[in-house]
Structure 1
Amino acid sequence: MAAKRPLRTFISTATCSLRAAQPSKPSLVRTSACAFSTTTPTRGPEYDTETAERPRWQQTPARMVAPVRTRPLPRGPVFRVNEDPRRLDDAYVKMLGPGGDKVLTDEVKWLAVTHKSFDHGRRGFNDRLAFLGRRIVSLQTSHALLSSQHVQPQPDEYGRTPYLHPALNGLPGLSHEAKDAVLDKAQLSTIAERYNLDRVTRWKPKRADNLKGSGVDAVLATSLYAIIGAIALERGGDIANKVTQERILSPLGFTLSSEYSPGV
Structure 2
Amino acid sequence: MALNPSRSAVSATCKVLRRCGSSSQSVVQRLGQPVRQLSTSASRRNEAVETTPEQEKRPRWSYTPERMKGPGFSINVVKDPSRTIWHNNEDPAKLDAMYMRLLGSKGDRMLPDEIKWLAVTHKSFDQGRRGFNTRLAYFGRLIVSLETTRHILVTPAAAEDSPIQDPFNREPFQHSALANVDKLNIKQPMDVASKEKIAKLAIDVGLPEVTRWKPRMPEHLEGSGFIAVLNTSLFAIVGAISLQHGAETAQQVVREKILRRLGA
Under a length normalisation based on structure 2, what TM-score does the superposition of the two structures give?
0.76
Kindly report the root-mean-square deviation, in angstroms, between the aligned alpha carbons of the 2 structures: 2.9
Q: Structure 1 residues 233 and 29, CA, compared in 2 at 3 Å: closer, same or farther?
A: farther
Confirm whether residue 75 of structure 1 aligns to residue 89 of structure 2: no
Give the whole-Å Cα distance in 2 for the aligned partners of 1:138 and 1:253. 16
Q: Which runs of 5 or more residues in structure 2 are unaligned?
A: 1-25, 38-43
Q: CA deviation at 1:227?
A: 0.3
Alignment map for 1:44-59 (pairs within 5 Å) = 44-59=48-63
Give the whole-Å Cα distance in 2 for the aligned partners of 1:208 and 1:54. 29
Q: Which runs of 5 or more residues in structure 1 are unaligned?
A: 1-23, 35-39, 255-264
- CA deviation vs aligned residue, 1:150-203 (integer Å, no higher than 9, x gap): 251412323455555554443244469712222321111111111111110000
Which of 58, 61, 65 does residue 61 from structure 1 map onto? 65
Tell me the equivalent position of 2:251: 241
Matched residue SS, 2:196: helix
Give the whole-Å Cα distance in 2 for the aligned partners of 1:175 and 1:154. 13
In structure 2, give the amino acid aligned to 1:69.
F
Which of 138, 141, 156 does residue 134 from structure 1 map onto? 141
Q: CA deviation at 1:52?
A: 2.3
Give the whole-Å Cα distance in 2 for the aligned partners of 1:244 and 1:48. 43
Q: Structure 1 residues 195 and 166, CA, compared in 2 at 3 Å: closer, same or farther?
A: farther
Q: Structure 1 residues 111 and 152, CA, compared in 2 at 3 Å: closer, same or farther?
A: same
Tell me the equivalent position of 1:219: 229
Q: CA deviation at 1:253?
A: 1.8
Alignment map for 1:76-225 (pairs within 5 Å) = 76=82, 78-148=85-155, 150=157, 152-160=162-170, 162=172, 167-174=177-184, 178-225=188-235
Under a length normalisation based on structure 1, what TM-score does the superposition of the two structures give?
0.76
Q: Is contact 2:110-2:241 (8 Å) kept?
A: yes
- CA deviation vs aligned residue, 1:64-100 (integer Å, no higher than 9, x gap): 1123222355433622110100000000000010111
Give the whole-Å Cα distance in 1 for the aligned partners of 2:177 and 2:202. 34
Give the whole-Å Cα distance in 2 for the aligned partners of 1:161 and 1:176. 20
Q: Is contact 2:49-2:67 (8 Å) kept?
A: no
Q: Is contact 2:152-2:187 (8 Å) kept?
A: no
Q: Is contact 1:142-1:173 (8 Å) kept?
A: no
Matched residue SS, 2:141: helix
Q: Whose helix fraction is larger, Structure 1's or Structure 2's?
A: 2
